[in-house]
């Protein structure tokens, strides 16, 4: 096969894969602007409307409350998980403590446990503590889910940072915390930012625990999608409008920090 034929085959495969991946997202965006009678039609000839977005923010759907819950839970989770994970990752990367590898493996092994196995213990614990249907419960659960993952990610970035500057600062009398603050964190900033993005996305999209642990007051956006199943069937136009509300913030965030995100991912791959 000539190079030109291979080039066209490669482009055709890329186009096919991109179409398969992007088509459901595109269809969701189109359906979000359709009227109920057009939502079940495959035709692209329809009059767009914003009424679906107005409807989901009004009674009985009240999507605004779900947006607020998702923003608070995801933001607080990131603000707690990333600093704690950064310190833990630095410890695993720099301190040669006995049993360090086993402890690191133990933390990572929590990621191998299916969520459905531990949702019942969390439910019973929060019911006993009176924390069911609260944002605190969701924050605690999400911290347990994302913190091991963030520790693993940030450790890879810190491992790639040379220790020469740290050793020189320590010899000059700087404390360990000052070395972390003034040297390690600035150099690991792209990786920490990348980890924060993943942490936010994982928390923003979390469904199972939010479904089991919430009823009314702390319902998040992914769980809110279930409420669009009514006696007349699935309200696809409203469900798509809510789906757009879930997807758009992540897209905007990715576009705004794309350069740092790419830099962080490539930096973590080089040691």
Per-residue pLDDT of 39-54, as tens digits, reads 888 888 888 899 999 9
pLDDT of residue 266: 56
197 or 5, higher pLDDT: 197
Question: Which two tokens mark 64?
Answer: 């605004």
Do residues 138 and 214 touch, judged by C-beta distance below 8 A? Answer: yes
pLDDT-based confidence at residue 263 (cuts at 50, 70, 90): low
Question: Can you tell me the distance from the alpha carbon of 228 to that of 61, in angstroms, rounded to the nearest whole number?
Answer: 8
Question: Can you tell me the distance from the alpha carbon of 137 to that of 142, in angstroms, rounded to the nearest whole number?
Answer: 9
Lowest mean pLDDT of 93-107, 194-208, 257-271, name the range.
257-271
269 or 13, higher pLDDT: 13
Question: Can you tell me the distance from the alpha carbon of 187 to that of 172, in angstroms, rounded to the nearest whole number?
Answer: 19
Question: Can you tell me the distance from the alpha carbon of 233 to that of 235, in angstroms, rounded to the nearest whole number?
Answer: 6
* Site of tokens 């469904």: 207
Q: What is the pLDDT of residues 213-228, one digit of tens each?
A: 998 889 999 998 888 8
What is the DSSP-derived secondary structure letter of residue 225?
G
Q: What is the pLDDT of residues 143-172, one digit of tens each?
A: 999 999 999 889 988 888 888 888 888 888
Q: Alpha-carbon torsion 152, 107, 88, 80, what sign? A: positive
Question: Which two tokens mark 72?
Answer: 């608070």
Question: Can you tell me the distance from the alpha carbon of 49 to that of 66, in angstroms, rounded to the nearest whole number?
Answer: 23
CA 105 to chain centre: 23
Residue partners of 179: CB distance under 8 A and separation at least 6: 166, 169, 170
Question: Can you tell me the distance from the alpha carbon of 28 to that of 56, in angstroms, rounded to the nearest whole number?
Answer: 15
Q: What is the pLDDT of residues 96-132, one digit of tens each?
A: 878 888 888 888 888 888 888 899 999 999 999 999 9
What is the 3-state secondary structure of 167-201? HHHHHCCCCHHHHHHHHHHHHCHHHHHHHHHHHHH
pLDDT of residue 264: 53
Beta strands in the chain (DSSP E): 229-230, 233-234
Do residues 199 and 81 touch, judged by C-beta distance below 8 A? Answer: yes
Question: Can you tell me the distance from the alpha carbon of 249 to that of 128, in angstroms, rounded to the nearest whole number?
Answer: 35
DSSP H or E run through 259:
helix 258-268
Question: How would you label 217-237 residue by residue, b for 16+ Cβ within 10 Å and e otherwise?
Answer: ebbbbbbbbebbeeeeeebbb
Beta bridge partners of 229: 234
pLDDT at 247 over 50: yes
pLDDT at 236 over 80: yes
What is the DSSP-derived secondary structure letter of residue 99?
T
Question: Can you tell me the distance from the alpha carbon of 191 to that of 150, in angstroms, rounded to the nearest whole number?
Answer: 10
Domains and CATH numbers, the chain: 58-268 (1.10.3720.10)
pLDDT-based confidence at residue 270 (cuts at 50, 70, 90): very low
């Amino acid at each position: 096969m000539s190079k030109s034929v291979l080039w066209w085959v490669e482009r055709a495969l890329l186009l096919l894969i991109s179409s398969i991946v992007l088509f459901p997202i595109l269809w969701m965006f189109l359906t979000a602007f359709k009227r109920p009678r057009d939502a079940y039609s495959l035709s692209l000839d329809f009059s767009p409307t914003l009424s679906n977005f107005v409807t989901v923010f009004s009674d009985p759907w009240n999507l605004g409350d779900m947006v607020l819950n998702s923003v608070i839970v995801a933001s607080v989770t990131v603000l707690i998980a990333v600093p704690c994970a950064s310190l833990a990752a630095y410890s695993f990367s720099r301190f040669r403590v006995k049993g360090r590898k086993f402890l690191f493996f133990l933390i990572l092994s929590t990621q191998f446990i299916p969520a459905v196995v531990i949702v019942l213990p969390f439910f019973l614990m929060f019911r006993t503590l009176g924390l069911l249907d609260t944002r605190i419960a969701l924050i605690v659960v999400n911290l347990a889910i994302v913190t091991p993952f963030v520790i693993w990610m940030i450790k890879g970035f810190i491992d790639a940072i040379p220790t020469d500057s740290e050793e020189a600062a320590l010899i000059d009398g700087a404390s360990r915390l000052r070395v972390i603050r003034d040297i390690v964190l600035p150099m690991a900033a792209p990786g920490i930012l990348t980890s924060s993005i993943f942490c936010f996305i994982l928390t923003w999209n979390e469904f199972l625990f939010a479904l089991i642990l919430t009823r009314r007051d702390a319902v998040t956006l992914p769980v809110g999608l279930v409420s669009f199943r009514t006696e007349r069937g699935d309200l696809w136009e409203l469900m798509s409008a809510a789906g757009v509300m879930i997807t758009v913030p992540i897209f905007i965030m990715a576009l705004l920090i794309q350069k740092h995100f790419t830099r962080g991912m490539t930096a973590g791959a080089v040691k």
